[in-house]
Structure 1
Amino acid sequence: MSRRDGDALPLTAAQREIWLAEQRARTALDAYRIGDYLEVHGPVDAELFETALRRVVDEIDALHVNFVDHGQEPLQVVREAWDWEPHLLDLSSEPDPRAAGLAWMARDRMRALDLSSDPLFSFALISLSPTHHLLYQNHHHLVMDGFSLSLVRRRLTRMYTALAAGGPVSRSPFRSLDELVRSDADYRASRQFTADRSYWTERLADQPEPAQLTGRAPRSGSGPRTVVEPAVLRVDALRARATQAEVHWSRPLIAAAALYVHRLTGDRDVLIDLPVTGREGAERTLLSTPGMTANTVPLRLAMRPDQRWHDLVVEVAQEADAALAHQRYRSEDMLRDLGLPGSTGAAFPLVVNIMVFDSPPSFAGHPATLHYLLPEPTTGLALWVMGRRGDKELRVELKGAPQTWSEDELAVHQRRLIEATGDTSTRNQED
């Protein structure tokens, strides 16, 4: 899109749901922020970093919009250029530079934003020492999703590397925002949209009551933020069981989560919420355009006393394949179609988000470690599982709404979920 100041575009369906959710909440919850940071073990030239960053931001249409409500429905209004500054912080003199950097990022993520006038993103180069840096990005969820974070990070790395080497910079790989908006509108007017709606309406027609993972009512107020130390999960057993069932290794992990919910609640009809990109099966526009398309899909699993573990894993694989084939249909639309009140977090109370990367990240040839900044869910529980393809261990982190879950409760659930991945027997019969 050739950006013209003042051009107005409709919101995509994903953006509209975020807009409505935040209008209802009317608070600076980090549930509506998405970000990460790359921990670089090597020198970073601050001036060159800022040059590369400004060029990357200028390439991304989604980072040049504000949102206005004209009374009928919100619009995203294009700004041809921004007056913004990256944060260049030197914390090397702090007693604990890394802790100071993490604290700064936490404050920035809760910073209030005016959707109608502020840049809806933040970038920082946080220097902890001459050879230790944190490269931070944070966005409002209206303009960016998890898939887009990787697009931005990859482009920034390549831009900086090319400039540092004095070589040519490749042409921008990004498509325009109006193409993304048009793709969304075309999908919602398509036969595929109708087929997806029919699939989900039939699959959830007799949806069970949501599993109650805690017997306590939510506490008043938001309460203190809960912090649980991440755990480490060895994946050898998961991969072995996946090989036996001829499925992707993540399927036994989802099956273990479902089995845990079953044992905890006694429910035999279990719903697991699976975050998806909302881009699979779509045209290439969606694979090369930063923006907000992320969605979640429910996996409905039947738990039986005589069920063998192998059969449960196969059921999970089949259910996941079918759900992913219909992943562009919004989960919020599913609830409205079924006449169910509330949010997807309340309807599908356990989220299992698995993110595995192909190779170790780096920055201009220096080794780096990627850290996602995980939002706390507004309801239910969210299990985040992160690692690199081929690794023997995965990082596991359980997040819960602070008004519902205490730190001790989350720690117990996290430990039991890890144990469930190694205890895969059913009640009456084992593989």
Structure 2
Amino acid sequence: MTVMETEGRGVFPLTRTQRGLWAAQMREPAVPFVIGQYLEIFDELDIDALRRAARVAAIEFGSGVLRIVEVDGEPFQCVDASPERCVELVDLTGHADPVGAAHDWMQSDCATPVAITENQLVTSALLRVGQEHYFCYVRAHHLALDGYGVMSMVRRTAQLYNADIVGTPAPPSRAQDPGSLAALEERYRNSPRFGDDRRYWRDRLSSLSVEDDNRVMATVPRKCTAELSAAHRRDLEVLAGETGGMAAVVIAALASFFGDRSGRPDVVLGLTTSGRTSRIMRDSAGSFDNVVPLLLSDVADSPVETLIDTARTTLLGALRHQRYRFEDMQRDRGVPSSGRPFGPVVNLRLNERAVELAGHRAGVGMLTSGPVQDLQVDVYHDGLGSLHIDLLGNSRTYGARELSDLHRSLMRFVEQFAAQARRPVRKLALVPPLS
């Protein structure tokens, strides 16, 4: 990998993933390609200590202080820790509804386009909504961090903060800097594993038809959110324990729902993956996430337990080959890299743990994982025991009422899915369409 000097900073090329994101952002300058997440904290905080911890974590990972620069009209990246980056403190306690005002503030910030060669790619803020009640918010352009990377940096910030509060050294960081991660990606693309992954996906996608899709991404997707009741969550957990695990159960449920909606026996879902297949990558930040296809056949005629087993096997294969880029799969199929993803996209965060801050547990909230071309389902634990199911839709395609009705149907379907695990999907007591 070539490193050049410009204005006293070492700059190096974008990875293949980043170049795709750069091109997408150039095509759609009004669309914010950002990740937005937050912690909800019920405790008083040492704000200066939190700011110190956030700055150290950003520098350790490098991705938190990443800059995009242009050299002779071409995009490059560099790590620039020179500006003092401070966690902004926003006091919303004077509002009639401080919590609502905090959510509005965060959603508005996530909806604001980022001038990627002029602005910081990663920003954070602490929103005070009451005595011992805060939202700790992070927004990152996808060029710098994906969702996994954001949470890695948040957890490291908490680790540094806790060590500062009790006056003990924090464990050393194991994160690799962005330059090393870029070199790691380059080595993968020149390795035998890259060829193996390419052949795997060519075989899997050989029978999949190519569909034209010229729809334009909306600036901000519509979103419906709900929390699964404790009783229905336990039903899914029991079924997961008896079959293929929670991820396979959720994939099977969503395949059943969208298969019934489309009337087709075979279902294709797009699965968001972390793109991280090694300890080095999992210990680091950066932007590696990917969307890989999950192809499930004869969904309607399969007993639920059989479908879950199929989902588990399909999921294991996809994760084993998850580093092969969506854009490369599309190119191999003769589809523009900006084309439609593989069916509704599913984003699973089922192993999220609470973040510990000075002995208090903070829950995790998802705001956005970027633009949505058609439909996306986010299923995630908040770390405090709740399971959330959010449905996001392209607002140019789905009206508010249509998306809300679809989300309610999805929730009702998931609630009854576990209770009828031994019946064929076709014979489930499916919820009727909402008028």
TM-score by length of 1: 0.88
- Cα gap change, 1:186/1:35 in structure 2, threshold over 3 Å: closer, same or farther? same
Residues 199-239 of structure 1: CA deviation (Å, up to 9, x unaligned): 10111012135699xxxx96x99488634242425233333
RMSD: 2.7
Change (3 A) 1:267 1:175: same
**Superposition deviation, residue 184 in structure 1:** 0.1
Asked whether the equivalents of residues 35 and 370 of structure 2 are also in contact (C-alpha less than 8 Å), the reply is: no
> What SS class does the counterpart of residue 222 from structure 2 fall into?
coil
Q: Residue 319 of structure 1 aligns with which residue?
A: 314
Following superposition, the deviation at residue 96 of structure 1 comes to 1.5
Which segment is superposed worse, 323-332 or 127-136? 127-136
Residue identity opposite 2:247 in structure 1: S
1:299 to 279, 294, 302: 294
Kept after mapping to 2: 8 A contact 1:40/1:135? yes
* Structure 2 residue aligned with 1:426: 424
1:65–1:244 Cα change, 3 Å: closer
The yes-or-no answer on 1:290 pairing with 2:275 is no
Deviation of the 1:116 alpha carbon: 1.9
Task: Mark the runs of 5 or more structure 1 residues left unpaired by the alignment.
Answer: none
The 1:413/1:176 distance shift into structure 2, 3 A limit, reads same
Is 1:399 the equivalent of 2:392? Answer: yes
Q: What does residue 99 of structure 2 align with?
A: 98
Deviations 1:400-424 (A, max 9, x none): 1111111221122222222333245
List alignment gaps of at least 5 residues for structure 2.
Answer: 429-435
Q: Contact 1:297–1:323 (CA<8 Å) still a contact in 2?
A: yes
Determine whether 1:349 maps to 2:343: yes
Q: Which residue of 2 aligns with 1:330?
A: 325
- Residue equivalent to 1:15: 18
Task: Give the equivalent residue in structure 1 for 2:363.
Answer: 369
Q: Aligned residue for 1:250?
A: 247
- Name the SS of the counterpart of 1:230 in structure 2: strand
1:17, distance to aligned residue in structure 2 (A) = 1.5
Partner of 1:226: 222
1:378, 1:6 → 2: CA distance? 35
Question: What secondary structure is seen at the aligned counterpart in 2 of 1:100?
Answer: helix
Deviation at 1:6, TM superposition (A): 1.7
Alignment match, 1:198: 199
Moved more, 322-331 or 172-181: 172-181
Pick closer, same or farther for the CA change 1:90–1:180 going to 2, 3 Å: same
Q: Which residues in structure 2 correspond to 1:402-417 (within 5 Å)?
A: 402-417=395-410
**1:312 & 1:138 partners in 2: Cα distance?**
37
Change beyond 3 A, Cα 1:400–1:305: closer
Task: Read off the aligned partner of 2:397 and give its amino acid letter.
Answer: T
Amino acid of the structure 2 residue aligned with 1:25: E
Task: Return the offset for 1:399.
Answer: 0.6
**Residue from 249, 266, 271 that aligns with 2:268:** 271
What SS is found at the alignment partner of 1:84?
Answer: coil
Say if 1:377 and 1:400, in contact at 8 Å, map to a contact too: no
Match of 1:63, as an amino acid? G
Change over 3 Å in CA distance of 1:279–1:267 after alignment to 2: same
Deviations 1:19-50 (A, max 9, x none): 111111121x23x1112111110101222222
| Range with greater deviation from structure 2 (62-71 or 122-131) | 62-71
| Partner Cα distance (2:352, 2:370) in 1 | 26
Q: 1:241 to 1:211 in 2, by over 3 A?
A: farther
Report the alpha carbon displacement of residue 125 of structure 1 after superposing the two structures with TM: 1.4
Q: 1:388 to 1:112 in 2, by over 3 A?
A: closer
Aligned AA for 1:197? R
Contact between 1:377 and 1:399, CA under 8 Å: does it hold in 2? no
Change (3 A) 1:390 1:165: closer
Task: Give the conservation status (yes or no) of the 8 Å contact 1:376–1:399.
Answer: no
How far did 1:139 drift?
0.7
1:107 CA drift (Å) = 2.4
Q: Structure 1 residues 57, 389: closer, same or farther in 2, change over 3 A?
A: closer
Give the conservation status (yes or no) of the 8 Å contact 2:374–2:393: yes
Aligned partners of 1:222 and 1:402 also within 8 Å: yes
Distance 1:369 1:389 in 2: 6
Please state whether the residue corresponding to 1:357 is helix, strand or coil: coil
- The answer to which of 15-24 and 319-328 deviates more is 15-24
Question: Contact 1:179–1:285 (CA<8 Å) still a contact in 2?
Answer: no
* TM-score of the two chains, using structure 2 as the length reference: 0.88
Shift in CA distance, 211/338, structure 1 to aligned 2, threshold 3 Å? closer
SS in 2 for 1:179: helix
In 2, are the aligned partners of 1:376 and 1:400 still within 8 Å (CA)?
Answer: no
1:223 to 1:404, Cα distance in 2 relative to 1, 3 A: farther
Equivalence for 2:65: 64
Q: Tell me the matched-pair count.
A: 417
Contact 2:41 2:134 in 1 (8 A): yes
Q: Please name the residue that 1:237 is paired with.
A: 235
